[in-house]
Amino acid sequence: MSGGFRDSFTKEDTKEDLLGYDDTAFNYFVVTVLACVALPWTFSVVYNLVWPGEAQLQKEFPQKTSSGCSLRYCGTSAMTSKVDAARKQARKFSRASAVFWVLKTLLLTAIWVGIFSTVMRLGQEKE
């Protein structure tokens, strides 16, 4: 392989511009791939901030079956206290979960910075 990565995704200024290709295709590709990762992940992080522990609670005490039928739980004080204890446990914020949340947020922020910097670079490309 003589050319490598740079030759595949950029044009050389020394060659004639035979077909009028530009080197922005890779930038569009990067923005698309990063957006496909960042958008759902951002939605998930915001959802978990607004409703902490809701996914775990729905897994342990679902309100509907897979066919769509509603479930009713026993209304005794023992079952009610069990569900309340599970809700409190799901919303607890431990040291490990805090470190994981900070790392996840930093990585997500880095992805968004990458998207915005690539979009800004696309806006400044010469025609």
* pLDDT (mean) for 115-125: 86
Where is average pLDDT lowest: 57-66, 94-103, 109-118? 57-66
**CA 61 centroid distance within chain:** 26
pLDDT of residue 39 exceeding 90: yes
Tokens of 108: 């997500």
* Cα 3 from Cα 11, distance rounded (Å): 12
* Cα 54 from Cα 48, distance rounded (Å): 7
Most confident by average pLDDT, 20-24, 55-59, 77-81, 83-87: 77-81
* pLDDT (mean) for 17-39: 81
How much is the pLDDT for 21? 59
Span 67-112, pLDDT tens digits: 878 877 778 888 888 878 877 777 777 788 889 889 999 999 999 9
* Cα 39 from Cα 47, distance rounded (Å): 12
pTM to 2 decimal places:
0.60
Give 11's pLDDT tier (boundaries 50, 70, 90): low
How much is the pLDDT for 115? 93
| Residue type at position 9 | F
CA distances from 89 to 51, 56, 81 (A): 13, 10, 12
Spatial contact of 90 and 57, defined as CB atoms under 8 Å apart: yes
